[in-house]
Structure 1
Amino acid sequence: MRYEIRSVKGLAREANHDCAGAVFDGVRGLFVVVDGTSKPGSGQLALGFVQAVMDAYQALINQGAEDSTHSAVEQLLRSVLTDLHAPLFSKRTGTTSYLVGVASHGQLTLAYEGDCSCGFVCAKGGIEWFTPPHCKANWRRDRSHRELALDPARNLITRCYRANRSPDPDFVFRSVAAGERLVFATDGFWAELTDARQDDVLAAPASEITDVDDDVTWIDVKL
């Protein structure tokens, strides 16, 4: 399993409010991508969230926790997200969208709230996104990411990580196989970049991205 992370600050903010992290321990890949909102403190919250989730999940594994099935991973992620909620907000403010993914034993388990997304990179180009964003433009959960990218109401997030609400992620379960390629991304990637530009930056990750308003962050994972 190989992965590459990149995050680019958009033009709309003075600081990048996105954050992403990943680790592969030889058995499982753990991937976290977070998009802090414009609320004060959200960038710091995103950074703290990524490191805290990765540390907590790995600590449970080191203590002997099992994550060989979708249900076992779901239980671990629910525990991690719930246990970290109070400590994170005891020192931080703001709100974030997040997506956490665990790839192991031929399975991918995702937990998310907000508009960060995951998809398979198609061999002929393009990305098959399979995590419906939580936003007003997608209240029926039936619109494609490309359709949502054109609707301003996509910026009205209906679920997120915040102080006055316990984490309640949606879970998505998929099978994965060697040779497949995944992308974990913030909405700056899937909405601000055209399909063609997404293909371009995946092919050349160091490509210049200087003309987007939103922060653009992604993790490119090759299984």
Structure 2
Amino acid sequence: MLATVKWHTQAGTLTADNRDAFAHAHAHAHASLYVIADGSSSHPRSGELAQALLNDLTIGFNPLLTTELNAEQLAEALVRIIASSHQTLRDDFPLAACSYLVLCLLPDTAFTVHEGDCCLGAIEDDGEISWLSAVHCAPNWQGDLTHAQIAQASSRHALTRCFSARRTSSPEINYWPARPNQHWLLASDGFWAGLCAQEQQTFLRDGHLPAPPTDDDISCLSVITRTT
């Protein structure tokens, strides 16, 4: 599947390093992989953990495509890679934590695997963003809040799921209909929760804001599929 991919990121001021990261793999016409991760600003080496997880996912993805697995089989295989990465990285990153979102596109469907507060959106023809995936945070423990409601909650940074040696990994898997010329958006919470709608549109257009963000890193990965 052909796609146009754009990564926009702008560092915040909470940490000396930008702890958002992305990766993608186009190993086979049958499936493509897109991943973002957001390292915690409260725990040391979380940006390194985020990048290490993405490396494990992209390296592990290519061998999966030696046979044409269906969406459910691919999702289960990616969860196994995440579980293996959780075990191998825990000793090197005992205090670190990150959120992540995996988007896998197949010819007739799409699925996501995620933990934390990185979110999947679909950009409609009028430019409006429809947020699709759930946010794993304390205010949304019942899973019934909109992203706009969560963004206003002061406790949204308290995550109920994330990738960390201090927690059991518990990914959520969701399946989505896929169509040609679809515009997917994978975003860190600095984008979907930290920016108003106008700032989101400016960031998508220009790749940065006129004034740097005052706290969290802002990142989004735009993926536009096309048939030719």
State the TM-score bracket (shorter-chain normalisation): over 0.9
The answer on whether the counterparts of 1:5 and 1:21 sit within 8 Å (CA) in structure 2 is no
Tell me whether 1:46 sits opposite 2:50 in the alignment.
Answer: yes
**Structure with the larger helix share:** 1
Tell me how far 1:170 sits from its aligned partner: 0.6
Q: Deviations over 1:54-93 (max 9, x none)?
A: 11111332xx2433x3211211111111122221223223
Give secondary structure in 2 for the equivalent of 1:155.
Answer: coil
Instruction: Indicate the RMSD between aligned Cα atoms, in angstroms.
Output: 1.6
The answer on whether the counterparts of 2:123 and 2:185 sit within 8 Å (CA) in structure 1 is yes
Give secondary structure in 1 for the equivalent of 2:90.
Answer: helix
Which residue, 109, 112, 127 being the options, matches 1:125? 127
Question: Which residue matches 1:219?
Answer: 221
Tell me how far 1:106 sits from its aligned partner: 2.2
2: CA distance, partners of 1:113 / 1:169: 5
Tell me whether 1:99 sits opposite 2:87 in the alignment.
Answer: no
Q: Deviations over 1:5-39 (max 9, x none)?
A: 12211122111111111232352221111111121
2: CA distance, partners of 1:185 / 1:19: 11
Amino acid at match of 2:132: F
- Aligned runs of 1:155-194 on 2, under 5 Å? 155-194=157-196
Structure 1: runs of 5 or more not aligned: none
Q: In the superposition, relative to structure 1, how do residues 26 and 209 fare at CA in structure 2: closer, same or farther (>3 Å)? A: farther
Which residue, 37, 55, 58 being the options, matches 2:62? 58
- Aligned runs of 1:30-41 on 2, under 5 Å? 30-37=33-40, 38-41=42-45
Tell me how far 1:204 sits from its aligned partner: 2.5
Identity among equivalent positions (%) equals 26
Give secondary structure in 2 for the equivalent of 1:143.
Answer: coil
The answer on whether the counterparts of 2:183 and 2:223 sit within 8 Å (CA) in structure 1 is yes
- Which TM-score applies when normalising by structure 1? 0.92
Count of paired positions: 220
Amino acid at match of 1:2: T
2: CA distance, partners of 1:32 / 1:152: 27
- Which TM-score applies when normalising by structure 2? 0.90
Tell me how far 1:209 sits from its aligned partner: 5.2
2: CA distance, partners of 1:203 / 1:15: 24
